[in-house]
């Protein structure tokens, strides 16, 4: 008879020798010596496997033949002191049951190291590997910590719409939402598509950010945050961009830019600490994984710190706060700029910073996270607070080593006349955003907010080089499998 199932994490941490338990999971490896079979089982609750040991003579040969890498099993038996190194206990198999077989000729995951590229092609199975199960557990912990952090501070979690008619960032990188028959688009007399006949009676798209609606929440509830999916049709095939990613966007009434930076820094440290406190074995595994990956890199590309060291370093150091103008001076005088090593040379104030510049500041110059603030207004969105110099806006970006921009935010323009003028200048249709402008008309207050790219955060904490490896099913140009 089976016992009531216990998770492997619980068995390994809480059960003691002599207890009879039932573990269920997927076989990672099976080894057979003369009279003994060793089965390593993992159920996703922890990076660690439980080892089941059985006398081959006690089991049906046909049954044991079904126990292969990838098969799902239930093993019942007594916990005994482990003979091998590593684990304290192992399971003396008494009953072995097979739920589902995995034909070794067809099952793509074998007990060896697979490349991350190959695993992306089998994203439906990759959570069964150590690396991806560890990443998914860390991702979960970070998501949980986001809610915990804001909840402890009294923020209200609000859900902003996924379908919208606006493009908050004004970059025109939206995916359209329609139920038109694309083969038979209704046209008006001018020959243009007649969106009044579409589902919502107007042209709509998937949201690029929940911020504008978030602001409406902050101007009623004081402090809110969103945590939802966002969509961007930017055709950038990089290791930091997804077409569908998750964003955390807090928005706070009565916060100025400094309050905003303080909150963001505190939050990032809180999230990292939460992962370090609660995902020790997963992070230890990922730390080792990264160290091995670094070993094969050329010397000058290797990072100076290991994963755990990096995380600890963030917790223990203040972020460097630097104005855009100061950063431009540093970049202009920098070696890679002087020696024309940057792809985009920094020649004058006003230049948009590329990731090569951000990474120079963080990784070479300051060697710690950097908060850049007060950017030229012409390279930022319409909603940012216009500083007195008439040239800059109260924006802030947080740059992380190995990642570049992880957070983008600002104090918001809360003065109706200034906001309206900027929208007109930038060609943002103010009639369509009448509801947004209403908050400036009725009881407007200074307020601020920012957006944290969740996958970039998971990337930083897990040390994964490619953003496609920290989300279960990545959406990128030409790729929408699964």
Residues in the chain: 482
449 binds Mg ion (CB under 5 A): no
- CA of 446: how far to CAs of 14, 17, 215, 334, in Å? 52, 62, 11, 37
Q: Shortest distance, CB of residue 379 to Mg ion, whole angstroms?
A: 10
156 Cβ contact partners less than 8 Å away, ≥ 6 residues apart? 217, 221, 222, 223, 224, 225
Instruction: Please give the DSSP secondary-structure letter assigned to residue 56.
Output: G
User: How would you list the strands of the sheet with 244-253, edge to edge?
Assistant: 156-157, 223-231, 244-253, 447-453, 404-411, 392-400, 370-376, 320-323
> With respect to ligand 4AD, which residue has the nearer C-beta, 54 or 453?
453
408 binds Mg ion (CB under 5 A): yes
> With respect to Mg ion, which residue has the nearer C-beta, 132 or 319?
319
Asked whether the CA dihedral 319, 320, 325, 328 is positive or negative, the reply is negative
Do residues 55 and 96 lie in contact, with contact meaning Cβ atoms separated by under 8 Å? no
Give the interface segment with ligand 4AD, choosing from 7-15, 50-58, 237-245, 322-330 (CB under 6 A).
237-245
State the residue for tokens 């482990």. 82
What does the angle CA 302 – CA 468 – CA 109 come to, to the nearest 5 degrees? 95
**Residue 211 touches which of Mg ion, ligand 4AD, none (CB < 5 to 8 A by kind)?**
ligand 4AD
Q: What are the two backbone dihedrals, phi and then psi, of residue 453, each rounded to the nearest 5 degrees?
A: -75, 110
Size of the site for ligand 4AD (CB under 6 A): 22
> With respect to ligand 4AD, which residue has the nearer C-beta, 128 or 447?
447
Give the interface segment with ligand 4AD, choosing from 41-49, 52-60, 139-147, 245-253 (CB under 6 A).
245-253
> With respect to ligand 4AD, which residue has the nearer C-beta, 223 or 405?
405
* 282, 413, 455, 469: which one binds ligand 4AD (CB under 6 A): 455
> With respect to Mg ion, which residue has the nearer C-beta, 306 or 376?
376
131 binds ligand 4AD (CB under 6 A): no
Please give the Cα distance from 197 to 455 (Å, whole number). Answer: 37
Please give the Cα distance from 275 to 283 (Å, whole number). Answer: 8
Give the interface segment with Mg ion, choosing from 178-186, 188-196, 235-243, 401-409 (CB under 5 A).
401-409
Size of the site for Mg ion (CB under 5 A): 1
402 binds ligand 4AD (CB under 6 A): no
Which residues of the chain form contacts with Mg ion (CB under 5 A)? 408
Which residues are at the interface with ligand 4AD (CB under 6 A)? 168-169, 209, 211, 232, 234, 241-242, 245, 247, 249, 405-409, 449-451, 453, 455-456
């Amino acid at each position: 008879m089976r016992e009531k199932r216990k998770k492997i994490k619980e068995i390994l941490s809480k059960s003691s020798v002599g207890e009879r338990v039932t573990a269920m999971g997927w076989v990672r490896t099976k080894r057979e010596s003369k009279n003994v079979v060793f089965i390593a089982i993992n159920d996703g609750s922890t990076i660690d496997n439980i080892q089941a040991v059985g006398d081959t003579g006690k089991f049906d040969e046909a049954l044991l033949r079904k126990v292969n890498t990838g098969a799902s099993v239930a093993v019942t038996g007594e916990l005994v002191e482990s003979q091998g190194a590593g684990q304290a206990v192992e399971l003396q198999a008494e009953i072995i049951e097979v739920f589902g077989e995995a034909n070794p000729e067809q099952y793509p995951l074998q007990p060896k190291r697979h490349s991350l590229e190959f695993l992306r092609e089998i994203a439906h199975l990759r959570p069964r590997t150590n690396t991806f199960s560890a990443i998914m557990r860390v991702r979960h912990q970070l998501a949980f910590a986001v809610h915990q952090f804001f909840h402890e501070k009294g923020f209200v979690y609000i859900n902003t719409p996924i379908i919208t008619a606006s493009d908050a960032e004004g970059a025109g990188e939206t995916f359209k939402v329609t139920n038109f028959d694309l083969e038979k688009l209704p046209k008006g007399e001018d020959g243009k598509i007649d969106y009044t006949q579409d589902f919502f009676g107007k042209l709509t798209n998937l949201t690029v950010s929940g911020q504008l609606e978030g602001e409406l929440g902050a101007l009623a509830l004081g402090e809110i945050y969103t945590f939802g999916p966002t969509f961007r049709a930017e055709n950038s095939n990089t290791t930091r961009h997804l077409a569908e990613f998750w964003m955390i966007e807090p928005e706070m009434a009565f916060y100025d830019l400094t309050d905003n930076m303080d909150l963001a820094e505190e939050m990032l440290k809180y999230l990292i600490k939460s992962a370090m406190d609660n995902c020790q074995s997963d992070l230890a595994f990922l730390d080792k994984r990264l160290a091995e990956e670094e070993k094969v890199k050329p010397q000058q590309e290797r990072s100076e710190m290991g994963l755990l060291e990096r995380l600890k370093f963030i917790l223990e150091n203040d972020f460097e706060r630097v104005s855009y103008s100061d950063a431009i001076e540093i970049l202009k005088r920098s070696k890679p700029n002087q020696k024309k090593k940057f792809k985009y040379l920094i020649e004058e104030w006003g230049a948009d910073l590329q990731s090569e510049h951000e990474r120079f500041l963080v990784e070479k110059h300051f060697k710690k996270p950097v908060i850049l603030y007060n950017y030229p207004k012409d390279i930022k969105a319409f909603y940012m607070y216009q500083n007195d110099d008439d040239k800059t806006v109260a924006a802030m970006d947080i740059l992380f080593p190995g990642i570049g921009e992880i957070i983008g935010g600002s104090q918001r323009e809360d003065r109706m006349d200034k906001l309206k003028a900027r929208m007109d200048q930038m060609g943002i249709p103010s009639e369509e955003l009448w509801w947004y402008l209403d908050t400036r008309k009725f009881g407007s207050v200074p307020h601020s907010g920012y957006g944290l790219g969740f996958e970039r955060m998971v990337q930083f904490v897990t040390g994964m080089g490619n953003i496609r490896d920290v989300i279960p099913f990545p959406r990128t140009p030409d790729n929408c499998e699964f």
